[in-house]
Structure 1
């Protein structure tokens, strides 16, 4: 059963999600609703021609910072001084870049104008953060997401030159601020860097206490 949301800021039990993780439809992207969603392991994912769809997958694709795998070639890139990294310097530019990034097997973007406005507001309130990767004065890569305690709920990343998005992710892992980075959707690229699946129960426990499950 897929639940339909109204103006009340609440969600059904994530355990009631469909097999594909779809839990609810409707509602809005207000800061209060988004924060409640992330606190309960729920996130919005939809296209412009759809109502807001809320998901809570039965398994979560995550990366533990202490399990990060960095290849020898990537270590050379990091030590070469090719990139400079900043945080929260230009959040809006990062989310815009992510929204127009072409991705294999993807038609269009889920980062709609409404989504961008909503996450920029979360950033203004101090809950959403960005990592920016620079080559001289050019923004060449980055990522953004929502922080819930020691969990960083990654939303998207982009790269305009080779290794820029990897640099952003490695930087995030090395901050020491997070016990877990939620990657949401499986990719071979992230798996090669150490990401793996965990159960919804384990993910919920990480959200509650910020500890490794």
Structure 2
């Protein structure tokens, strides 16, 4: 096991990261995503360091994206950071988003968990950034890499199911978040493998996620993340 890991790290350090990426790079990227997910449980759930973890995760992955981009300027487009198909992908996602919003408010009304507050405004502005990072990690790197592995040929349905399961488990122990993120990742995985655009997925993830918290989950992420540093 140690020899295999050493080989992966050696291959990664020697690989020039130009297209197409090797299976070694793809596997290491997926492993890095898994480590980030584990970090969520440690720093956000156990140590209650939500904001520092989010900042460190975003900065760390931005540095990696910058590194890959310097090696291959086409990699951003390959991942889905592109504008040319923004409108077509948005049209595909919009019906799902509308149905989701209606469902959120109906469930929230039935549960009595509708929580209108001004806190949702700054969250609607900032959460799409974190949403884009999450979509890049789970959909872009996990689904994208699993679907293009050369050594293992996986059907799209299996790739989407694996990705949705991993994305859902990261949101444990909230049952509503487990269910909601699993459904979201199933749909987003399908859209991504059909037409890659992380901007649309990240934007919708951020807005839907913010509204989901204040209607269904009955939590206030803005207060949990920001206000504790003010008081």
Higher RCO (CA < 8 A, seq sep 6+): 2
- Same topology, TM > 0.5: no
- Higher normalized strand content (fraction of residues): 1
TM-score, with length taken from structure 1: 0.26
- Higher normalized helix content (fraction of residues): 2
